[in-house]
């Protein structure tokens, strides 16, 4: 089995690691790294995608990766959308459209944690995050059993007005990093540069500089160990978030 994951703050990686522990032969692969290295040929018969939900659908890098992926027609494909409390059906519909015509998702699951979209709201405290993880534990374990049984679900996913909102966010909301800035707390550790899935950050004079290709994932602002990165002034007093069971280094 190969599981392709996208994880800015660790939630999707945490889910991927739980699944990996339940299978003898399972490899976890970062989608952003696979995309950068053009590793798009996959011959395994069991393939999974695990990712956060962005604007109701797939993260931009996940969308791009799946659109380029070359897999066998008889592969068993599953998807897990890790949300901030909402649904993930639109992302499953998007995957079905991006996969080659004869391939569809065989199984799917929505895991509902707590939103950590720092731009728009407060991140969860460690306690709230751990509570949400615990509340979804049985659902995740049940889904793992369904994967072992190769269960198949058939559903006609519909996006509705969400498809329009997603397209506007993805294709027309340019320069998502326009207000990103760094203050004098920065220690030049370059974690923000390394975690960015789009190679959008470069270090100049030991400080991050954004290049206008931001995918709105919030990885850089949350991974900074000194909380030196902000979006305008709106995030200065907001707490930062990393999944309590994931170390920063695992996201790099």
pLDDT in tens, 205-227: 999 999 999 999 999 999 999 99
In sequence order, what are the beta bridge partners of 70? 41
**Is the C-alpha dihedral spanning 153, 159, 162, 164 positive or negative?**
positive
Tell me, what's the pLDDT at 154?
A: 81
- What are the backbone dihedrals phi and psi of residue 122, each rounded to the nearest 5 degrees, phi first? -85, 145
Tell me, what's the pLDDT at 202?
A: 98
Tell me, what's the pLDDT at 102?
A: 87
DSSP reduced 3-state for 177: coil
- Cα–Cα distances in angstroms (integers) from residue 68 to residues 41, 71, 95, 120, in the given order: 9, 10, 12, 31
- Over 80: is that where the pLDDT of 161 sits? no
- Over 80: is that where the pLDDT of 125 sits? yes
pLDDT in tens, 38-62: 999 999 999 999 999 999 999 999 9
Tell me, what's the pLDDT at 130?
A: 98
Q: Following DSSP, what letter does each residue of 217-235 receive, concatenated?
A: --HHHHH-TT--EEETTTT
182 contacts 45 by C-beta, under 8 angstroms: no
pTM: 0.96
Name the residue with tokens 């959008």. Answer: 200
Tell me, what's the pLDDT at 162?
A: 79
- Over 80: is that where the pLDDT of 66 sits? yes
**At 157, is the pLDDT very low, low, confident or very high (cuts 50, 70, 90)?**
confident
| Residue 189 to residue 234: CA distance in whole angstroms | 24
Across the chain, what does the average pLDDT equal?
95
The rounded Cα 233 to chain-centroid distance in angstroms is: 25
DSSP reduced 3-state for 201: strand
Mean pLDDT of 72-88: 95
pLDDT in tens, 83-108: 999 999 999 999 999 998 889 999 99
- Over 70: is that where the pLDDT of 159 sits? no
């Amino acid at each position: 089995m190969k599981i392709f994951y996208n994880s800015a703050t660790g939630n999707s990686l945490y889910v991927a690691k739980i699944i990996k522990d339940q299978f003898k032969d399972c490899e976890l692969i970062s989608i952003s790294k696979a995309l950068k290295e053009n590793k798009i040929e996959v011959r395994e018969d069991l393939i999974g995608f695990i990712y956060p939900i962005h604007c109701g659908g797939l993260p931009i890098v996940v969308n791009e990766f799946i659109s380029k992926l070359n897999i066998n027609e008889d592969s068993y494909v599953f998807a897990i959308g890790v949300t901030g409390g909402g649904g993930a059906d639109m992302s499953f519909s998007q995957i079905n459209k991006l996969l080659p015509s004869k391939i569809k998702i065989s199984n799917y699951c929505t895991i509902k944690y707590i939103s950590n979209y720092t731009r728009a709201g407060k991140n969860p405290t460690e306690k709230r995050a751990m509570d949400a993880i615990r509340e979804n534990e049985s659902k995740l374990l049940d889904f793992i059993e369904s994967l072992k049984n190769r269960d198949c679900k058939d559903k006609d996913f519909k996006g509705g007005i969400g498809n329009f909102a997603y397209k506007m966010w993805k294709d027309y909301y340019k320069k998502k990093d326009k207000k990103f800035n760094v203050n004098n707390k920065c220690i030049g550790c370059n974690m923000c540069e390394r975690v960015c899935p789009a190679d959008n950050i470069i270090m100049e004079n030991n400080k991050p500089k954004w290049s206008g290709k931001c995918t709105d994932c919030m990885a850089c602002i949350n991974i900074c160990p000194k909380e030196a990165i902000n979006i305008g002034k709106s995030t200065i007093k907001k707490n930062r978030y990393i999944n309590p069971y994931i170390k920063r280094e695992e996201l790099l």
